[in-house]
């Protein structure tokens, strides 16, 4: 039975919230959904496993929403968002709202319930899930709408209205948040079978009637404000796309009359042309800007802001965990107030707080001083409120001075600054670092040294992580087993993995990474300048969360991190053993980074630490070293004008790690994506000897990239089978795949390896799959 996505409002519950005169203009763009202890995650997973009912899930969700609303109301926030909760994703919620369900999910009309909704999100027994992609440059992933000319939009989920009513029943006048119609279309893709050239924006006429219905219902439910999130406005949009905004909002104007409307932008500043379009939109009363990442936003506003409109000034960072510099923000706000007027300025967050951790209160293990420097979502709500109060002349002196003291301590703390590291990193800038010999000469030297066959086989690092393995690590961490016992257990595991690879006759071995739970955390824990939270989770997609380390200080490497295990593994075999490291850019992009120095400075510091590790591995006799850069693409700035600079320092950081090794030492890198047509020049410029990449779904695209590869002549290992699936590929299938690659690539640069690490697979899958992979390579060698 399909239960409605949203329970009817709890009208029977009395509004028990304590009221305060809320005259200060404060606003929160959006709030994390998972709960301070990931309550929603556990409730969702239990529901999906059939262990609890839809009602139980709805109850957990309703409790989370009401506690969030109550917290914001108690803090004194004036514009409290509703409909920023989601059971999976706000873009999928919008798809449900407009009834754009692809036919394969078997929806027969009516209000969309959990069954159809979660089928789209996660797939079901007969249909796979819809595609998911990254939400701008965050680590959040949204479910991509699939639209074609025949899509019949209809109002099919009343979630936004229900949530508004639910808040109202609790005594909260909320501001309902919708993904704006134009961004929704721009974030969609043409449905299967529809030509790529299909104009998604041609659907604007068809989708607006649903938005009008939603708006009308919100109005009659008593809404006085409504928020449309239109973050695509920060991208480099062509003028016809900008015109779609003008068109859509003038179409909506009459429906919106009587309502206050704020258009939210975030993640960057709005380009000048888009700014002009935005502030001229009809029917709109306020505009929200990211004043943290939008470095030029201030100038834009100074250059002209429409009189009588509200400015939602996003000064509190929704993407990071640092306490706001309240004094500096207050200055900014006062300057803005001078432009837009006292009545029209609203203090806000830079974007939804979805992208930061939930509540610092639950960090019981964090060092006290470091903790005083931080603010998670709950604390950011208080910051927004304190700023709004201060702006209206009711400054909470104690709050401001505690904040100033924390900032002073962060600035002067010896645990933040390491002068030697700063000097070394500063010395790197402006000069180039690369290996002295070109890649083809290096490959020749390496061929002699390593004596590998043509089409060499290897894997990407991790082997299956069994329950026992996780238990051993956990017990060692909790000091339940001794260091000796731990080393012995890991040594046994490595030995098992080495023997298995020898039996399989793989050419370049790995140790299997049994000592690591996470490829960033493992290094962060051994580097100085990193701190770790207990509950600092951030939603990545659906119920999945990540817990990024916090880089708070200059990064250095007190001692070797991987040499012990790698040389142990090398001693077990006469075949080359790959040293396995995470690259600086990936460590940076998967952490909460410092905001008191540019990202590139932090990255150079990490690069120096990894460089030391690379050189220690080389000294210890490790001749092949893989430096993973899984997240290099992820850090690419949204705006084209900023991309070259990022790629320049990111690639430079990678080269720094290995510019000092001998020609005979072979540097590999691995990336978990293959769609890098647009950054291929930079990939080449990384100057690795061998690159392995994911290649499960996009052969075609990849081949065009490979043509470039031929030119630069480095080794390349496109994944020959998909490790994300339990399916075991046959020898024939793999051979066929490699043959296709050989059609465009020279055989002497091609490597044969899976798509990615094998951590999440079972031995029952890994053994036959790798055995078939080696068989395919051997078969092809005889044919070359």
Quick one: which segment of 170-178, 456-464, 603-611, 636-644 binds ligand GLN (CB under 6 A)? 456-464
Residues 619-648 binding ligand GLN (CB under 6 A) are 628, 630
Candidates 118-126, 146-154, 433-441, 458-466 — which segment interacts with ligand GLN by CB under 6 A? Answer: 458-466
The secondary structure of 671-725 as a DSSP string is ES----GGGHHHHHHT--SEEEE--SS-HHHHHHHHHHHHHH--EEEE-SS-TTS
CB atoms inside a 10 Å sphere around CB 343: 10
Query: What number of other Cβ atoms are within 10 A of residue 369's Cβ?
Result: 14
Rounded to a whole number of angstroms, the minimum distance from the CB of residue 549 to Zn ion is 19
Q: How far is the CB of 190 from ligand GLN (least distance, A)?
A: 29
Is position 433 annotated in a ligand binding site? no
Angle made by CA atoms 674, 680, 686, in degrees to the nearest 5: 100
Binding mask 506-545 for ligand GLN (x = CB under 6 A): -------x-----x--------------------------
Name residues contacting Zn ion, limited to 671-690 (CB under 5 A).
Answer: 672
Quick one: 360 or 693, whose CB is closer to Zn ion?
693
Regarding 631 and contact with Zn ion (CB under 5 A), the answer is no
Q: How far apart are CA 215 and CA 223, in angstroms?
A: 9
Instruction: Confirm whether residue 139 is marked as ligand binding.
Output: yes
The verdict on 759 binding ligand GLN (CB under 6 A) reads yes
The helix/strand/coil state of 416 is coil
Contact region for ligand GLN (CB under 6 A) — 1-9, 217-225, 300-308, 454-462? 454-462
SS (H, E, C) 89-112: CHHHHHHHHCCCCCHHHCCCCCCC
Instruction: Tell me the residue nearest to ligand GLN as measured from the CB.
Output: 757
Rounded to whole angstroms, the Cα distance separating 104 from 288 reads 38
Query: Rounded to an integer, what distance in angstroms lies between the CA atom of residue 280 and that of residue 309?
Result: 11
User: 687 touches which of ligand GLN, Zn ion, none (CB within 5 to 8 A by kind)?
Assistant: none
Residue from 489, 520, 588, 756 in contact with Zn ion (CB under 5 A): 756
The reply to whether 27 belongs to the active site is: no
Q: Burial, 289: exposed, middle or buried (Cβ in 10 Å; 0-12, 13-18, 19+)?
A: buried
DSSP per residue, 176-203: EEEE-HHHHHHT-EEPTTS-TT--GGGG
Within the chain, what is the greatest distance between any pair of CA atoms? 82
Q: What is the sign, positive or negative, of the torsion defined by CA atoms of 398, 403, 407, 409?
A: positive
With helix as H, strand as E and coil as C, how does 450-481 read? HCCCCCCEECCCECCCCHHHHHHHHHHHCCCC
**Under rule CB under 6 A, residue 719 binds ligand GLN:** no
- Work out whether 580 is an interface residue with ligand GLN (CB under 6 A): yes
**Angstrom distance (rounded) from CA 116 to CA 137:** 28
Closest to Zn ion by CB, 300 or 632: 632
Residue 613 interacting with ligand GLN (CB under 6 A): no
Shortest distance, position 510 Cβ to ligand GLN, whole Å: 8
349 with 81: CB under 8 angstroms?
A: no
Binding marks (x or -) toward ligand GLN, 655..684, rule CB under 6 A? ---------------x-x------------
Of 62 and 627, the one with the shorter C-beta distance to ligand GLN is 627
Residue list for the binding site = 41, 139, 513, 544-545, 590, 628, 670, 672, 685, 694, 756
Residue list for the binding site for 5-methyltetrahydropteroyltri-L-glutamate = 41, 139, 544-545, 590
**Which positions are catalytic?**
724
Which residues lie near ligand GLN (CB under 6 A)?
460-462, 513, 519, 580, 628, 630, 670, 672, 756-757, 759
Residue list for the binding site for Zn(2+) = 670, 672, 685, 694, 756
């Amino acid at each position: 039975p399909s239960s409605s996505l949203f329970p009817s409002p709890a009208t029977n519950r009395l509004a028990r919230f304590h009221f305060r005169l809320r005259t200060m203009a404060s606003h929160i763009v959006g709030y994390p959904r998972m709960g301070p202890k990931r309550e929603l995650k556990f409730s969702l997973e239990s529901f999906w496993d059939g262990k609890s009912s839809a009602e139980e899930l709805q109850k957990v969700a309703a409790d989370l929403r009401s506690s969030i609303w109550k917290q914001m109301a108690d803090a004194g926030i004036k514009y409290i968002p509703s409909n920023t909760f989601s059971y999976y994703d706000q873009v999928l919620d919008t798809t449900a709202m407009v009834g754009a369900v692809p036919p394969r999910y078997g929806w027969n009309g009516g209000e969309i319930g959990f069954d159809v909704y979660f089928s789209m999100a996660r797939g079901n027994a007969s249909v796979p899930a819809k595609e998911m992609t990254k939400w701008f440059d965050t680590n959040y992933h949204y479910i991509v709408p699939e639209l074609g000319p025949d899509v019949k939009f209809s109002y099919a989920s009343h979630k936004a209205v229900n949530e508004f009513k639910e808040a109202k029943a609790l005594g909260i006048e909320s501001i309902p948040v919708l993904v704006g119609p134009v961004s929704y279309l721009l974030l969609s893709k043409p449905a299967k079978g529809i030509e790529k050239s299909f104009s998604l924006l041609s659907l604007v006429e068809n989708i607006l009637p649903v938005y009008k219905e939603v708006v009308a219902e919100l109005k009659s439910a008593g809404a006085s404000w409504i928020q449309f999130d239109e973050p695509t406005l920060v991208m480099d949009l062509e003028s016809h796309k900008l015109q779609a905004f003008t068109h859509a909002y003038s179409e909506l104007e009459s429906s919106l009359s009587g309502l206050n409307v704020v258009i939210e932008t975030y993640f960057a500043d709005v380009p000048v042309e888009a700014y002009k379009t935005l502030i001229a939109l009809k029917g709109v009363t306020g505009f929200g800007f990211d004043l943290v990442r939008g470095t030029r936003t201030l100038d834009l506003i100074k250059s002209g802001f429409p009189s009588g409109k509200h400015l939602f000034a996003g000064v509190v960072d929704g993407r990071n965990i640092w306490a706001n510099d309240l004094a500096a923000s207050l200055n900014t706000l006062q300057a803005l107030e001078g432009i837009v007027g006292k009545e029209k300025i609203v203090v806000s967050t830079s974007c939804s707080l979805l992208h930061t951790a939930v509540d610092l209160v639950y960090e019981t293990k964090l060092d006290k001083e470091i903790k005083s420097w931080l603010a998670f979502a709950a604390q950011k709500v208080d910051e927004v409120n304190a700023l709004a109060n201060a702006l209206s002349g009711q400054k909470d002196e104690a709050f401001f001075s505690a904040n100033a003291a924390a900032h002073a301590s962060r600035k002067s703390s010896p645990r933040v600054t390491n002068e030697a590291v700063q000097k070394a990193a500063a010395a790197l800038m402006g000069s180039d670092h690369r290996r002295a010999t070109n890649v083809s000469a290096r490959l020749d030297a390496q061929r002699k040294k390593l004596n590998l066959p043509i089409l060499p086989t290897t894997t990407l690092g991790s082997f299956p992580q069994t329950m026992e393995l996780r238990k051993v690590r956990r017990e060692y961490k909790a000091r339940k087993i001794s260091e000796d016992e731990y080393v012995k257990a890991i040594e046994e595991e490595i030995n098992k993995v080495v023997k298995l690879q020898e039996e399989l006759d793989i050419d370049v071995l790995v140790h299997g990474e049994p000592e690591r739970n996470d490829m960033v955390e493992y290094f962060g824990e051994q580097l100085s300048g990193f701190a770790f939270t207990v509950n600092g989770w951030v939603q990545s997609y659906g119920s999945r969360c990540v817990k990024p380390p916090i880089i708070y200080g200059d990064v250095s490497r007190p001692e070797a991190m991987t040499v012990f295990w790698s040389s142990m593994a090398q001693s077990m075999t006469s075949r080359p053993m790959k040293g396995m490291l995470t690259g600086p850019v990936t460590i940076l992009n998967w952490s909460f980074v410092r905001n008191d120095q540019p990202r590139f400075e932090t990255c150079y510091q990490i690069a120096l630490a990894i460089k030391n590790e690379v050189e220690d591995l080389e000294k210890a006799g490790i001749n092949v070293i893989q430096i993973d850069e899984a997240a290099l693409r992820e850090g690419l700035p949204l705006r084209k004008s900023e991309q070259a600079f990022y790629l320049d320092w990111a690639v430079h950081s990678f080269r720094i790690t290995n510019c000092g090794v001998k020609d005979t030492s072979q540097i590999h890198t691995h990336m978990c994506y293959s769609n890098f047509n647009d950054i291929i020049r930079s990939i080449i410029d990384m100057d690795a000897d061998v690159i392995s990449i994911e290649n499960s779904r996009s052969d075609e695209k990849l081949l065009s990239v490979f043509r470039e590869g031929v030119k630069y002549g480095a080794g390349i290992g496109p994944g020959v089978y998909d490790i994300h699936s339990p399916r075991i590929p046959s020898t024939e299938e793999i051979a066929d795949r490699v043959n296709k690659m050989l059609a465009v690539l020279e055989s002497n640069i091609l490597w044969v390896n899976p798509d990615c690490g094998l951590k999440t697979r079972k031995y029952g899958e890994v053994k036959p799959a790798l055995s078939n992979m080696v068989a395919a390579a051997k078969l092809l060698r005889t044919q070359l």
